[in-house]
Structure 1
């Protein structure tokens, strides 16, 4: 190989590597689920989707409806028939967003009705290890933020919580990955991946 080409090829390889880094706008989705499937099989049926009691977001807001629709779409994919109200089950949904620092300070006070606890906020699985991602992403991508989606399924006949889970992802605020329609669909898909999941296990979904 002529020696004059080596620097050019090295530069091209570096550009490809940086482009791959620049396309990384979000960390993996961290998901934890708890359920009673071992004792009470989770049958399919009709299900309504609404707000978790003491929801962090206004149940009538566009933000809330976007999360409800994302969860409803996943439940429909799993074989449930989503109805406006009533039904065999009800899914209660909540979501919240904040900076990574806020989530790390907040800690978790959420206990899971299906028999466990989802652990602490903020796993540190986010972006930026050893890289200046502000430069790689082409401008200021904004602060790192954490978006969390919580959902539980209750059986209406006896109000028993039969399944509950949490999905959490870290993104940069000014990137496509942080847009509400994008991240709500991503979190819901990860939350219900392999439903009902292994109770008490935390997984990471890319």
Structure 2
């Protein structure tokens, strides 16, 4: 009986390793800004909306909520559109990455109960069906945010962040995913103009 303990334990350990989700990639962030324009609206009020080309999908709700939290941390107070000095336009794209590293179609995100201003509880679970070895499949996320002067409609800051993770990892869940990518996007705001940085995901 004793002779089989170690082989069985080893087999269980190897099975656990085989099914472990792929680790998250670093978040790659690129930002552009107009320093003069930003100084005028610094610490002002902000209205957060979906970007015109992005639609107002429920899937974007946790990302808009995450952007709102980051802007609040930076000293901007959220308000309605008519009173805002700053308009934040948010666009999010979630897509499947096959085991060959090629980008595939969009992932399907399950919708659960919504909470908060943007339904920050929306999105429970990620559906992905690419075939092949699931351990090598990934979910990619790209978040784009443009900050505009509400009076002139001039863009004063624009940022884009993207990263990928295994579909079964905790970081693939929409609310967690949104918090990770938004925090990286607004870290050291406004960031270097035209500079691309990479942030490790814990």
TM-score, L = length of structure 1: 0.67
Q: Determine whether 1:84 maps to 2:80.
A: yes
Q: Determine whether 1:152 maps to 2:146.
A: yes
Asked if structure 2 preserves the Cα contact closer than 8 Å seen for 1:142 and 1:173, the reply is no
Greater CA deviation, 30-39 or 72-81? 30-39
Which of these residues, 151, 171, 180, is aligned with residue 177 of structure 1? 171
Report the CA distance between 1:52 and its aligned residue: 0.6
Report the CA distance between 1:39 and its aligned residue: 6.6
Which of these residues, 137, 161, 164, is aligned with residue 143 of structure 1? 137
Counterpart-to-counterpart distance in 1, 2:67 and 2:35 = 20
TM-align CA RMSD: 2.5
Counterpart-to-counterpart distance in 2, 1:204 and 1:33 = 12
Asked if structure 2 preserves the Cα contact closer than 8 Å seen for 1:52 and 1:94, the reply is yes
Following superposition, which runs of at least 4 residues in structure 1 exceed 4 angstroms of deviation? none
Q: 1:69 to 1:145 in 2, by over 3 A?
A: same
1:85-142 deviations in whole A, cap 9, x for unaligned? Answer: 2300100000001133127xxxxxxxxxxxxxxxxxxxxxxxxxxxxxx7xxxxx446
Report the CA distance between 1:23 and its aligned residue: 8.1
Q: Determine whether 1:98 maps to 2:95.
A: yes
Report the CA distance between 1:54 and its aligned residue: 1.0
TM-score, L = length of structure 2: 0.68
Asked if structure 1 preserves the Cα contact closer than 8 Å seen for 2:22 and 2:169, the reply is no
Structure 2 spans left out of the alignment, 5+ residues: 1-12, 105-132
How does 1:25-174 map onto structure 2 within 5 Å? 25-37=23-35, 41=39, 43-55=42-54, 58-59=55-56, 61-86=57-82, 87-100=84-97, 101-102=102-103, 140-141=134-135, 143-174=137-168
Corresponding residue SS for 1:54: helix
